[in-house]
Amino acid sequence: MSAQAPHILVVDDNPINRMMAARLLKEAGYTGMLVDDGLKALAALQAHQFDGVLLDESMPNLDGTGVLKEVAKWRATGKLVPPIMMVTGNDLPSDVARFRELGAKGLIPKPLTRENLQRGLSLIRQIP
């Protein structure tokens, strides 16, 4: 990660969830860029450098699973992609396994809390 405050892409179609994530990230010393769907997430990932991604599963236009599948194609061509943490209420072990198979580094359960976010960010920080 960079020497500056780590920069996180937050992808969630719910404006309240985005505002909460932004506030919690700021409290934790991170900066964030907020987008409201998967298509905008892919555009942001192409245009900016991030230290991690918080990705909602259920969104219009392109959901989190679709983003993970597209990012997997990028990784297959050698493109560097920041670690992605899914942020979802679907946190059964089978969901976690499916997201990991698609390339996510982990899952932060909703509702987003300071504790859940800190655990997820600690996983992002551990990834080289």
Instruction: Name beta bridge partners: 10.
Output: 34, 54
Number of domains in the chain: 1
Per-residue pLDDT of the chain (128 residues; tens, 9 = 90+): 445 889 999 999 999 999 999 999 999 999 999 999 999 999 999 999 999 999 999 998 999 999 999 999 999 999 999 999 999 988 889 999 999 999 999 999 999 999 999 988 888 776 54
Q: Does residue 1 lie in a domain region?
A: no
pTM of the predicted structure, to 2 decimals: 0.92
Q: Does residue 28 lie in a domain region?
A: yes
- Residue whose entry in the numeric block shows the structure tokens 């899914």: 86
Structural domain containing residue 45: 7-126
Assigned token pair, 29: 């010393």
Q: Does residue 101 lie in a domain region?
A: yes
- Residue whose entry in the numeric block shows the structure tokens 């990660």: 1
Assigned token pair, 4: 């500056």
The CATH number covering residue 73 comes to 3.40.50.2300
